[in-house]
Amino acid sequence: MTRAEGQAEERAERPGSGSPRRLEALIDGAFAIVMTIVVLEIEPPEGPPGEFPVQLAALAPTIWTFALVFVTLGALWFGNRTQSGLVGRADHPLTWLNLLLVGLVALVPFSARFLITYPADRTAVLWFAAHFTVIYLVHGAAWLYASLRPELLRAGLSEAFLRRSRLATFVPAAVYAVATGLAAISAIAGIVASLVVPVLLVSGLFYRGLARIHARS
């Protein structure tokens, strides 16, 4: 065993360091609970039955907003899953960065309710976009921290890929920061800008770009 390998093994066995599997399970559970709670904001029509079609039509903005929140959370979970797949161990700071992420995700039902209640209000849209700006900043910080510590990463990741992925992981936060600024001017502009990140992630464009970087490196 080389000296570097011995130092890496010693760091890996320090108290607070270990397999990230339980942390991943906690994060997955938090996302599942939050994504389920959000749907409770949609209240069914209360009659009379003859007015159900009109009442359902009135629910359209609420259902659309729920879809936006759900897809946004789904895209964030997918990003976290991708990040976790590159990490082989979790130490104390990385664990707490991810716990901070869980705490911010747990606050999403409040932001969702605010946006569902006032979908055309600039303050509600600004709060929503700012909330996800902070969430993605923490998400990016977790990867930045892990990517700078080879002992936490799985084998086979080149330095070129790590360097570029550090920049890429902050792209969603930058987009949501722009959406926050636009929301201060126009609620509609803020909502449209907030759709950019889910579209990039759900379509696979973001991850195909990362895959090309990884293949070239």
**159: helix, strand or coil:** helix
Boundaries of every domain in the chain: 16-216
| pLDDT recorded at residue 3 | 44
**18: helix, strand or coil:** strand
Average per-residue pLDDT in the chain?
A: 86
Q: What confidence tens digit (pLDDT) does each residue in 79-90 have?
A: 899 888 899 999
Q: Is 156 left (phi over 0), alpha (psi -120 to 50) or beta?
A: left
Query: Of the ranges 6-20, 101-115, 197-211, which one carries the lowest mean pLDDT score?
Result: 6-20
CB neighbours of 186 closer than 8 A, spacing ≥ 6?
Answer: 122
Is the pTM for the entire model greater than 0.75? yes
| pLDDT recorded at residue 1 | 45
